[in-house]
């Protein structure tokens, strides 16, 4: 028997639910397609779905404590400088310089939970 996956999504667990949903709504410039107040939000992006949820009280200890997120989301952008300006304008400036690699240019940004967002621009 083999596992038959029909869809996949990336989910972020957070105790700062509204703050994280507000951040991703501003950053992605869209409202979540699914939204349950103080519980679940989901964004449809090209090639993936991003879900944000508040864990049940019995699981909160698994997600608090360190103050740093444990997830990285890589978003391919068409104009890296424009993406850097946009995320800075919503209050989350990128902390480091642009890195140039063989596959393109990228910079790291962070959401309010400390999850890393890799903004990547491919070589043209």
Distance of CA 19 to the CA centre of its chain: 13
In degrees and rounded to multiples of 5, residue 36 shows phi and psi of -125, 115
Judged against a pLDDT cut of 80, whether residue 59 lies above it is answered with no
Report which of residues 1 and 115 the model is more confident about.
Answer: 115
Task: Give the position of tokens 């200890």.
Answer: 61
Q: Nearest CA to 92 among 122, 65, 116?
A: 116
Band (9; pLDDT cuts 50, 70, 90):
confident
What is the average pLDDT score of the chain? Answer: 85
- pLDDT given for residue 61 in this prediction: 64
User: What domains are there in the chain, each with its CATH number?
Assistant: 9-122 (3.10.180.10)
List pLDDT tens digits, range 95-121: 778 998 777 899 989 999 888 898 999
Structure tokens at 82: 């424009």
């Amino acid at each position: 028997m083999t596992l038959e996956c029909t869809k996949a999504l990336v989910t972020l667990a957070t105790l700062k639910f509204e703050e994280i949903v507000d951040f991703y709504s501003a950053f992605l410039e869209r409202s979540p397609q699914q939204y349950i107040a103080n519980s679940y939000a989901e964004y449809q992006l090209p090639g993936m779905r991003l879900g944000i949820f508040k864990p049940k009280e019995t699981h909160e200890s698994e997600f608090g404590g360190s103050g740093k997120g444990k997830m990285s989301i890589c978003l391919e952008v068409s104009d890296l400088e424009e993406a850097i300006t946009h995320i800075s304008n919503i209050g989350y400036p990128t902390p480091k310089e642009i890195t140039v690699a063989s596959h393109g240019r990228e910079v790291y940004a962070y959401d309010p939970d400390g999850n890393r967002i890799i903004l990547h621009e491919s070589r043209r």
